[in-house]
Amino acid sequence: MPIPISDLPGHRALHQRAVAALESCVEVQSIDFKESAPWEELQHKIIRTTLAMANLRDGGVIVIGVSERGDQWELPGISNEHLATYQVDDVIDAIHKFASPSVDVILVVVPWNARRFLCVSVSEFGATPIVCRRDDRQTLKSGREQFTFVLPVWLAQQRCGLRSRCMISWNWQPRNARAAF
């Protein structure tokens, strides 16, 4: 399925958010810029960034077509050849292979200053935070789900009677739970 242009009525807020990001050229936690590249080259970075943004308040936007050269941003947009490699269904399927529960994403092309940018809008999680179901190495190998719960220092000190600054995390795996200090 081809990627729609952001001038549709339902994409107005996404269009405004993307244009504001392009005008400011500032990466923040909820805005990430990627250089123009084909889907096969960027897919691991996009999946990783999508999963991270899904756990942010209000989600985030990945803007593809922005290059960083030293301390300067260049806005060439995404090339037609690279844009042709992105198919909505393929991108969403790839993200859903790694997200548990699934992540709501919208892909649109945002025209700005006679250039086009591909934007991936990531919604924040619902009732359950998003976790990666697989290892995020180059091959993204399948593995068991693992959740890490990290307590803030003040809560760990309060619950465990600890006086020094430390971090306690509990790694939960399906068959055995253990505390790591």
Res 126: pLDDT: 86
Res 73: pLDDT: 93
**What is the pTM for the complete model shown?**
0.71
Res 9: pLDDT: 67
The whole-angstrom separation of Cα 129 and Cα 107 is 22
Do the Cβ atoms of 126 and 41 come closer than 8 Å? no
The whole-angstrom separation of Cα 54 and Cα 161 is 34
Res 164: pLDDT: 47
Res 162: pLDDT: 52
Do the Cβ atoms of 27 and 33 come closer than 8 Å? yes
Domains belonging to the chain, first-starting first, are: 9-131 (3.30.950.30), 144-180 (no CATH)
Do the Cβ atoms of 61 and 117 come closer than 8 Å? no
Residue 128, both tokens: 């359950």
Chunked into runs of 10 residues, the chain (181 residues) has average pLDDT values of 66 89 94 97 95 92 94 94 95 91 92 95 88 59 47 57 47 45 38
Res 1: pLDDT: 59
Q: What Rg value do the Cα atoms of the chain yield, rounded?
A: 19
Res 2: pLDDT: 59
Tell me the CA distances in angstroms from 112 to 2, 15, 117, 161, one per residue in order.
Answer: 19, 10, 8, 56
Residue 87, both tokens: 């198919």
Res 50: pLDDT: 95
